[in-house]
């Protein structure tokens, strides 16, 4: 049996900021959704179903907020699904929506992810202690820092690599009008001089807390034919999960991430990701995760990822640009962060990425992960349809 | 060009559930879930590594902590890594996601599970956090009060009265006597008013529980189950959140989902309805045009056991199990979410002709 090809014909996102005090949660999601509809030149009545995602409900203090958001997202009378797979949720949400089209259950689907972190306190949203379980050690950085340290020891990477990533991503963000952090006076020295938060992770090597939403319109072959602007075609998509904590877990390069990437490459006919993929929007909430994921995703051999970063390969004008939009390091509405990666990948292959557009971006990977590096979701989008 | 229709037959081939209880404080969620997962795997002879896709439904707000579902994954045994997803919804919607995944052909089997422990917190208060956070939730209208509004609207419209509601309660708990998993069985006094016009007996028990289902496509389903419960159609629809803009005596989303699922094409012999309140069965019977010949909630329904986030999946499981046992040939299963039946899912299941 064959699947229906899935195309991205509309992308929308809010300007991401620390606190959107001018809009409610409903106002925030409506803004991104309307933008995606405008991009696709469609109206609310063209949408068959809505798939929405966000990270834990405790971040806004609303249980299952999709119930309240049904009206704002034009979902009344339609199917509405709510996905939650921790930090990978934005990517997973897009994949669940894509499956509705691929399975020919629906023709055109609105998918959206958001976080309005200013309505609550993410630190405490993540730190509810329960018996017999390790808390997240005061935020995600405390959890991930030892794994970064393990990577440095294993790979022999010099301790300057993390700051290079942060400096690059923050400069890329200056070219992206939707990015949260616009640090016009950023210098490498400033990154390196920023306070140490969780050794070896410095303040400027961490992501901000953002309010923001991202939306996409996914459609079938017929819908893509009607699209006013070039569609991005989904060439492969997959999710993989493994347990949070167990003796055999490799926190530096989790097997679930490797398997997920391998599945996507198989679907998309990618033999050599380093050669066949033009750019990557990667989930990098702490700068050192760029070299780590370069290895996990097969762009570099084990222990070699930092060399790509150090040699400038991942710069906007490099041979394999990573996080052209500024990435999670510059914009982090947690539940939406994964979808922003997927959406930015789509913008690149559509040639719609504006100032941070990469020349000849024909195949771009969108990547997200969540939990204690246990949930992975990825898609590869291309400028050519899979049956072209 | 008209879009191609789904071409794969997908069936429920196994169903398991816990005994639902008022509290399970001695068990973690994982411990509560594990026996159910083992049960459905044993029914089919499958191992975790044989499963093509796994999807679960649960809610952090019941557990009282963020990312609660990440621990449940440990119970599944996600090693080597598995293809897996989660909805922050009742497990019935996790089943819907798994069904679409099987339709794409990416997997031939799926494990679906859901669980909810209502015992750690005051459920009526917890559910108020589902409401519009700016205008409604700050007033803390609880789930029974909202259901009472709906019940009163039905009585005012002449659709039911208190004795009729009491009869729904009695029938549900009487038939639950044959359901060893049910929390409330047999004769239960109708009791005092909780919120007029609803009495204790009109309300569901508050309890903890888990459920799991295995889905399989085509020939795989026949290999795994003697009489698979084929999903002939499944659809879900949501309504406006604001109670002021809805006619609480009707459920247009249920009717539309049933229509899209093909429920009205031929009569069903069984209906498992997720109606936590007696008054909601009245609304659903009308929306689904259920006639006298249909066996409604032979399991006792949500009035006998209502583990939040699992109760909808249990309706699908109960309907499927009746088909497996040869007690039904065409059954309807319904799940709901949100205040006063805001969101509704309908599945139509059939056994092979005998």
pLDDT digit string, tens, across residues A151-168: 999 999 999 999 999 999
C-alpha distance from B175 to closest chain A C-alpha (Å): 33
> Distance (Å, rounded) from C-alpha A169 to C-alpha A176?
11
* Mean pLDDT (whole number) for A319-330: 98
Cβ(B332)–Cβ(B270) below 8 Å: yes
Cβ(A140)–Cβ(A126) below 8 Å: yes
Does residue A243 sit at the B interface (CB-CB below 8 Å)? yes
Does residue B256 sit at the A interface (CB-CB below 8 Å)? yes
Check CB contact under 8 Å for A77 and B252. Answer: yes
Does residue B60 sit at the A interface (CB-CB below 8 Å)? yes
User: In this predicted model, which residue has the larger pLDDT, A27 or A140?
Assistant: A27
pLDDT of residue A120: 83
Return the C-alpha torsion angle B148, B150, B153, B154, nearest 10. Answer: -100
Check CB contact under 8 Å for B78 and A243. Answer: yes
pLDDT of residue B280: 98
Check CB contact under 8 Å for B129 and A62. Answer: yes
Cα Rg of chain B, angstroms: 19
pTM over 0.90: yes
Question: And the tokens for A377?
Answer: 């979701």
pLDDT of residue B4: 47
How are beta strands A49-53 and B53-57 bridged, if at all?
A: unpaired
Residues 211-240 of chain B with CB under 8 A from chain A are: 235-240
Return the C-alpha torsion angle B96, B97, B99, B101, nearest 10. Answer: 170
Check CB contact under 8 Å for B61 and A63. Answer: yes
How far CA A216 is from CA of A13, A29, A32, A42, B238, in Å, comes to 9, 12, 9, 12, 20
Does residue B244 sit at the A interface (CB-CB below 8 Å)? no
* Mean pLDDT (whole number) for A182-211: 96
Q: Which secondary-structure segment (H or E) carries A52?
A: strand A49-53
Does residue B45 sit at the A interface (CB-CB below 8 Å)? no
* Mean pLDDT (whole number) for A279-302: 98
Cβ(B111)–Cβ(B214) below 8 Å: yes
C-alpha distance from B128 to closest chain A C-alpha (Å): 8
**Residues in contact with A195: Cβ distance below 8 Å, sequence separation at least 6, in sequence order:** A202, A203
ipTM score assigned to the predicted complex: 0.97
> Distance (Å, rounded) from C-alpha B260 to C-alpha B252?
12
Minimum-distance CB partner of B83 among A63, A220, A240: A240
**How many of the other CB atoms lie within 10 Å of CB of B122?**
11
Check CB contact under 8 Å for A70 and B71. Answer: no
C-alpha distance from B2 to closest chain A C-alpha (Å): 9
| Nearest-Cα residue of chain B relative to residue A246 | B74
Count helices and strands in chain B by DSSP H and E runs? 11, 12
Query: Hey, of B104, B108, B309, B344, which one would you mutate to test binding to chain A, going by the most A CBs within 10 A of its CB?
Result: B104
- B180, burial (CB in 10 Å: exposed 0-12, middle 13-18, buried 19+): exposed
> Distance (Å, rounded) from C-alpha A204 to C-alpha A192?
8
> Distance (Å, rounded) from C-alpha B310 to C-alpha B92?
8
pLDDT grade for B63, boundaries at 50, 70 and 90 = confident
Contacts of B77 in chain A (CB under 8 A): 243
> Distance (Å, rounded) from C-alpha B142 to C-alpha B147?
9
| Cβ contacts from A onto B, under 8 A | 204
| Nearest-Cα residue of chain B relative to residue A96 | B97
pLDDT grade for A126, boundaries at 50, 70 and 90 = confident
C-alpha distance from A340 to closest chain B C-alpha (Å): 19
| Poorest-pLDDT segment among A206-215, B65-74, B81-90 | B65-74
* Nearest Cα residue to A69 out of A100, A112, A39: A112
Does residue B157 sit at the A interface (CB-CB below 8 Å)? no
* Mean pLDDT (whole number) for A97-114: 98
Tell me the average pLDDT of chain B: 96
> Distance (Å, rounded) from C-alpha A373 to C-alpha A88?
9
Contacts of A66 in chain B (CB under 8 A): 88
Residues 87-106 of chain B with CB under 8 A from chain A are: 87-89, 93, 96-97, 100-101, 103-106
C-alpha distance from A252 to closest chain B C-alpha (Å): 15
Backbone φ and ψ for B111, nearest 5 degrees, come out as -105, 125
Minimum-distance CB partner of A243 among B73, B97, B127: B73
Cβ(A323)–Cβ(A169) below 8 Å: yes
| Nearest-Cα residue of chain B relative to residue A123 | B66
Check CB contact under 8 Å for A63 and B87. Answer: no
> Distance (Å, rounded) from C-alpha A343 to C-alpha A8?
9
Contacts of A85 in chain B (CB under 8 A): 85-86
pLDDT of residue A244: 85
Residues 328-387 of chain A with CB under 8 A from chain B are: 371-372, 374-375
pLDDT of residue B1: 32
**How many of the other CB atoms lie within 10 Å of CB of B248?**
22
Minimum-distance CB partner of A130 among B65, B82, B236: B65
Which region holds residue A64: left if phi is over 0, alpha if psi is between -120 and 50, else beta?
A: left
> Distance (Å, rounded) from C-alpha B98 to C-alpha B93?
9
pLDDT of residue B161: 98
Query: Hey, of A64, A218, A260, A267, which one would you mutate to test binding to chain B, going by the most B CBs within 10 A of its CB?
Result: A64
> Distance (Å, rounded) from C-alpha A117 to C-alpha A212?
9
Q: Report how far Cα A114 is from the mean position of its chain's Cα atoms.
A: 12
> Distance (Å, rounded) from C-alpha B11 to C-alpha B234?
12
Cβ(A367)–Cβ(A378) below 8 Å: yes
C-alpha distance from B174 to closest chain A C-alpha (Å): 33
> Distance (Å, rounded) from C-alpha B107 to C-alpha B66?
30
Check CB contact under 8 Å for B240 and A62. Answer: no
How far CA A269 is from CA of A7, A224, A262, A306, in Å, comes to 18, 22, 10, 26
Check CB contact under 8 Å for A242 and B337. Answer: no
* Mean pLDDT (whole number) for A325-337: 97
The tens digit of pLDDT for each residue in A128-150 reads 555 445 555 556 788 899 999 99
**How many of the other CB atoms lie within 10 Å of CB of A120?**
17
Minimum-distance CB partner of B105 among A3, A220, A263: A3
| Nearest-Cα residue of chain A relative to residue B66 | A56
pLDDT grade for B64, boundaries at 50, 70 and 90 = confident
């Amino acid at each position: 049996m064959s699947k229906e090809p899935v195309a991205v014909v509309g992308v929308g996102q809010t300007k991401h900021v620390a606190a959107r005090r001018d809009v409610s949660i409903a106002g925030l999601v409506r803004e991104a959704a309307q933008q995606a509809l405008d991009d696709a030149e469609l109206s609310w009545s063209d949408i068959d179903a809505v798939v929405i995602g966000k990270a834990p409900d405790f971040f806004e203090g609303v249980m299952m907020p999709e119930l309240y958001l049904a009206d704002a997202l034009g979902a009344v009378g339609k199917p509405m699904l709510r996905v939650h797979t921790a930090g990978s949720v934005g990517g997973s949400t897009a994949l669940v929506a894509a499956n509705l089209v691929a399975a020919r259950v629906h023709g055109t689907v609105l998918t959206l992810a958001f976080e309005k972190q200013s309505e609550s306190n993410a630190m405490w949203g993540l730190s509810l202690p329960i018996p017999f379980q390790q808390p997240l050690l005061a935020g995600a950085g405390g959890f991930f820092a030892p794994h970064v340290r393990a990577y440095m020891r294993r790979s022999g990477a010099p301790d300057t690599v993390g700051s290079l990533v942060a400096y690059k991503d923050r400069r890329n963000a200056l070219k992206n009008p939707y990015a949260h952090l616009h640090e016009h006076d950023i210098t490498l020295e400033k990154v390196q001089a920023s306070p140490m938060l969780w050794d070896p992770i410095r303040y400027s090597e961490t992501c901000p807390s953002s309010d923001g939403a991202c939306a996409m319109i996914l459609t079938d072959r017929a819908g893509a034919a009607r699209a006013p602007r070039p569609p991005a075609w989904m060439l492969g998509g997959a999710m993989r999960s493994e347990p949070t904590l167990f003796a055999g877990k490799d926190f530096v390069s989790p097997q679930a991430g490797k398997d997920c990437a391998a599945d996507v490459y198989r679907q998309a006919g990618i033999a050599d990701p380093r050669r066949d993929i033009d750019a990557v929007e990667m989930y990098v909430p702490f700068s050192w995760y760029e070299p780590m994921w370069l290895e996990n995703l097969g762009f570099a051999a084990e222990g070699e990822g930092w060399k790509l970063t150090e040699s400038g390969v991942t710069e906007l004008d490099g041979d394999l640009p990573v996080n052209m939009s500024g990435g999670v390091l510059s914009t982090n509405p947690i539940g939406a962060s994964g979808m922003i990666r997927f959406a930015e990948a789509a913008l690149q292959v559509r040639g719609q990425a504006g100032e941070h557009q990469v020349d000849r971006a024909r195949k771009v990977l969108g990547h997200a992960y969540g939990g204690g590096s246990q949930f992975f979701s990825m898609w590869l989008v291309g400028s050519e349809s899979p049956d072209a | 060009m008209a879009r191609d229709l789904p071409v794969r037959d997908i069936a429920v081939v196994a169903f398991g559930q816990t005994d639902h209880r008022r509290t399970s404080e001695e068990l973690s969620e994982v411990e509560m879930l594990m026996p159910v997962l083992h049960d459905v795997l044993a029914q089919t002879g499958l191992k975790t590594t044989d499963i093509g896709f796994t999807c679960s439904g649960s809610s952090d707000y019941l557990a009282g902590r963020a990312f609660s579902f990440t621990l449940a994954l440990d119970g599944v045994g996600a090693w080597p890594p598995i293809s897996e997803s989660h909805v922050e919804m009742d497990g019935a919607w996790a089943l819907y996601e798994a069904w679409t995944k099987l339709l794409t052909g990416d997997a031939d089997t799926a494990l679906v599970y859901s669980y909810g422990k209502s015992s750690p917190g005051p459920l009526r208060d917890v559910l108020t956090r589902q409401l519009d956070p700016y205008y409604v939730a700050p007033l803390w209208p609880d789930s029974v009060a909202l259901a009472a509004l709906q019940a009163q609207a039905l009585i005012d419209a002449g659709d039911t009265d208190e004795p009729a509601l009491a009869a729904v309660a009695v029938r549900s708990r009487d038939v639950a006597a044959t359901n060893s998993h049910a929390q409330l069985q047999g004769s239960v006094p109708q009791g005092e008013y909780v919120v007029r016009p609803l009495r204790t007996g009109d309300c569901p028990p508050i309890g903890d529980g888990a459920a799991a289902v295995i889905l399989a496509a085509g020939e795989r389903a026949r290999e795994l189950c003697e009489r698979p419960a084929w999903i002939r159609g499944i659809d879900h629809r949501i309504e406006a959140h604001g109670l002021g803009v809805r006619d609480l005596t009707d459920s247009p989303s249920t009717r539309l989902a049933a229509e899209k699922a093909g429920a009205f094409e031929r009569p069903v012999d069984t209906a498992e309805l997720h109606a936590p309140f007696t008054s909601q069965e009245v609304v659903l019977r009308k929306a689904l045009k259920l006639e006298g010949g249909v066996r409604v909630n032979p399991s006792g329904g949500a009035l006998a056991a209502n583990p939040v986030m699992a109760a909808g999946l249990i309706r699908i499981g109960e309907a499927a199990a009746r088909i497996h046992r040869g007690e039904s040939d065409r059954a309807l299963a319904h799940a709901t979410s949100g205040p006063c039946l805001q969101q509704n899912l309908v599945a139509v299941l059939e056994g092979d002709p005998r």
